[in-house]
Amino acid sequence: MQKYFNMKPRFIIIKFKFQKLSAFIFASRNETRVSEIESGACQTKCSVACSSNYPKLAFGFIPVILISAIFLFCFESVSIAGEIQQSSSYFVLKTTKVKIAEVKIINIFPHDSNAFTQGLFYKHGYLYESTGLKGKSKLRKVNIKTGEVLQEIKLAKKYFAEGITLFGNKIYQITWQNNKVFVYDLLNLKLINYFSYQGEGWGITTDGKKLFMSNGSEVINRINPVNFTIEKSINVHDGENAINNLNELEYIHGEIWANVFMQDVIARISPDTGAVLGWVDLTNLYSYLPVGCKANVLNGIAYDADNGRIFVTGKNWPKMFEIVLTKDDRN
């Protein structure tokens, strides 16, 4: 994940709206990221990262305060499930000097709520999606209008798939901690090559000449698509603030657009300097998700270059949104 959580422990963060009380429960398994839970969690303005398999604690007893915290949290979640925050609480937006855009929804399409979305791109009328989790990682071709999966490739159970991009007629699909990128033929999704790399893989995109890959930190690496070696690294920053947790990437109009893990924003990044050129606040999308859904974190950006359309979604989200940017004078 990010440099602060390299071991990827799974834990529960319970954040009360009116009480500054947090309880952390660490699990013995470390397959999934913080908040990236296979079962998902209803998306509220509480910060929730919960596991479907409750850990065995070695303390011999559970403090009463912990039980009370979980009990109260359940009621708090229900009471605010319908409340939608009007703008992102991401701390960088409070001090940024660059423009912050909000979005207008143009279209809403169905999206497979079982898809743990790790990467997207759009080509020739179809959406191509990479889904994650060990044993459930896939590369799929999807009818964007209906959400129907037209074709899919299942990865071996040991792989945790991450971002994808299209370079020429080849699809590059990276993996989280498996240190491997798979290369497929666009036409038939057949595996034609693979490369190894060091470190984690999170998101990937291309400007048509080179590849750009994130690893969960503030670093984006420029990659040679021929041999998948790093040619240059940029540190993403907004003023003095390093922007960590860079996740899914998409190249749009000379900028790298990046999801920021566990935040409701997209960073618009200069591929040359790493400077953040602007922000996109996607907080209002949550008001269009069904109450009680198992939506996980926001993740997934696709760009239809031929028609200038932008699509966004999230892990286990039941909807895909076509958006346009609107002006905002918050800064």
Q: What is the pLDDT of residue 92?
A: 87
Q: What is the pLDDT of residue 328?
A: 56
CA–CA separation, 174 vs 203, rounded Å? 8
189 and 164 in one domain?
yes
Q: What is the pLDDT of residues 175-228, one digit of tens each?
A: 999 999 999 999 999 999 999 999 999 999 999 999 999 999 999 999 999 999
Q: Say yes or no to pLDDT of 3 above 90.
A: no
Q: What is the pLDDT of residues 141-179, one digit of tens each?
A: 999 999 999 999 999 999 999 999 999 999 999 999 999
95 and 79 in one domain?
no
CATH of the domain at 292: 2.130.10.10
70 and 98 in one domain?
no
How many domains, in total, are found in the chain? 2
CA–CA separation, 112 vs 58, rounded Å? 38
Q: What is the pLDDT of residues 95-127, one digit of tens each?
A: 899 999 999 999 999 999 999 999 999 999 999
109 and 65 in one domain?
no
In a domain, 13, yes or no: yes
Q: Are 112 and 147 in contact (CB under 8 A)?
A: yes
Q: Say yes or no to pLDDT of 24 above 50.
A: no
Which of residues 83, 99, 114 is at a domain's end? 83
| 308: containing domain | 91-326
DSSP string, 117-158: EEEEEEETTEEEEEE-STTT-EEEEEETTT--EEEEEEPPTT
Q: What is the pLDDT of residue 292?
A: 81
Rounded to the nearest integer, the mean pLDDT of the chain is 79
Residues counted in the chain: 331
pLDDT-based confidence at residue 10 (cuts at 50, 70, 90): very low
CB atoms within 10 A of CB 13: 16
Average the pLDDT over 132-139 and give the result.
Answer: 95
**pTM confidence score:** 0.75
In a domain, 59, yes or no: yes
Q: Say yes or no to pLDDT of 51 above 80.
A: no
In a domain, 74, yes or no: yes
Q: What is the pLDDT of residue 295?
A: 86
| 33 vs 324, higher pLDDT | 324
Which of residues 83, 113, 138 is at a domain's end? 83
Q: What is the pLDDT of residue 322?
A: 97
287 and 140 in one domain?
yes
Q: Say yes or no to pLDDT of 285 above 80.
A: yes
202 and 117 in one domain?
yes
In a domain, 331, yes or no: no
In a domain, 221, yes or no: yes
149 and 76 in one domain?
no
Q: What is the pLDDT of residues 296-326, one digit of tens each?
A: 889 999 999 999 999 999 999 999 999 999 8
Q: Say yes or no to pLDDT of 30 above 60.
A: no
In a domain, 11, yes or no: yes
3-state secondary structure of 187: coil
103 and 60 in one domain?
no
Q: What is the pLDDT of residue 78?
A: 32
| 36 vs 233, higher pLDDT | 233
In a domain, 212, yes or no: yes
78 and 95 in one domain?
no
Average the pLDDT over 255-259 and give the result.
Answer: 97
Q: What is the pLDDT of residue 35?
A: 40
Q: What is the pLDDT of residues 64-103, one digit of tens each?
A: 444 444 444 333 333 333 344 456 668 888 889 999 999 9
Q: What is the pLDDT of residue 255?
A: 97
Rounded to a whole number, what is the distance in angstroms from the first to the last CA of the chain? Answer: 30
Which of residues 83, 104, 135 is at a domain's end? 83
CB atoms within 10 A of CB 217: 21
